[in-house]
Structure 1
Amino acid sequence: MNLEQYINISVDSFYLGAQSDPAAQRYVFAYCVNITNNSTESVQLLRRYWQITDGNGKQTEVSGDGVIGVQPHLQPGETYSYTSGAVFETPLGSMQGHYDMLSASQIAFQAPIPQFRMAMPHILN
């Protein structure tokens, strides 16, 4: 069974104007991630990997244990949500990556995080 196909990940991003300073090339964004386990067994999120690309094409890679300090377990049908943030030097950028996960039957797999955009309001039509 390809468990990664049963993990649904969706992301919404938000520009945080009050924390941003465009004159100093500081654009702050929050993003809310929803991870849904559509498989028939429980899974645990162990690690995260992000590829972050700013509007100039500069790429940064970030990885680490868990998300926001936890390694959540998701039962079948359960959704885990969390909010985090990123700071860019440009008003436009994107993020994508994967979560390293482990099933209850000790199968390790990667759940892909689809690319999502960070954009200051009105920067795109």
Structure 2
Amino acid sequence: MVIAITEGIKVTVEVTYQPEFSSPHQHHYVFTYKVNIENNSSHTLQLMRRKWEISDAGDVAKTVEGDGVVGQQPILEPGNKHEYVSGCNLKSGLGKMRGSFFMEKLFDGKYLEVKIPEFQLIADIFDN
């Protein structure tokens, strides 16, 4: 598990390799990651956009951007949390991800870039 805190917004990420959906002989590795966003600030925020940087040891790094997370743009009042699960496919069993959430402060319309901590994507293909 990795953690980053930006102006009172705590982002925690846990990664799981999914061997049942992966095919190492075909260079296809599947990972899921659970993200928990906790608003410990005094502001009500809405998660508007996300930006991910995905690096794969077997390929060129790529950037993925879009609205919200898994089809949602959650509002987090002070003390609230939002959790979601998403996934990533790699061509190798080794990579990493990091990124940002762009959140709007609902009281003044200003944006806050909240860091998503870098985390490793490592296929545990040698575990039995």
Whether these two folds match at TM > 0.5 is yes
SS of the residue 1:85 aligns to: strand
Shift of 1:58: 1.9
Q: Secondary structure of the equivalent of 1:18?
A: helix
| 1:1-125 matched pairs, under 5 angstroms | 4-56=6-58, 58-105=60-107, 106-121=109-124
Matched-pair contact (CA < 8 Å) for 2:59–2:91: no
Residue 55 of structure 1, CA deviation? 1.6
Amino acid at match of 2:54: I
Bigger mean CA deviation after superposition, 31-40 or 104-113? 104-113
Deviates more, 1:41-50 or 1:55-64: 55-64
Distance in 1, matches of 2:110 and 2:48, equals: 12
In structure 1, stretches of 5+ residues that fail to align are none
Runs of at least 4 residues off by over 6 Å: none
Q: CA deviation at 1:90?
A: 0.5
| Partner Cα separation in structure 2 for residue 69 and residue 122 of structure 1 | 31
- State the percentage of identical aligned residues: 36
* SS class of match (2:12): strand
CA shift at 1:122, angstroms? 5.8
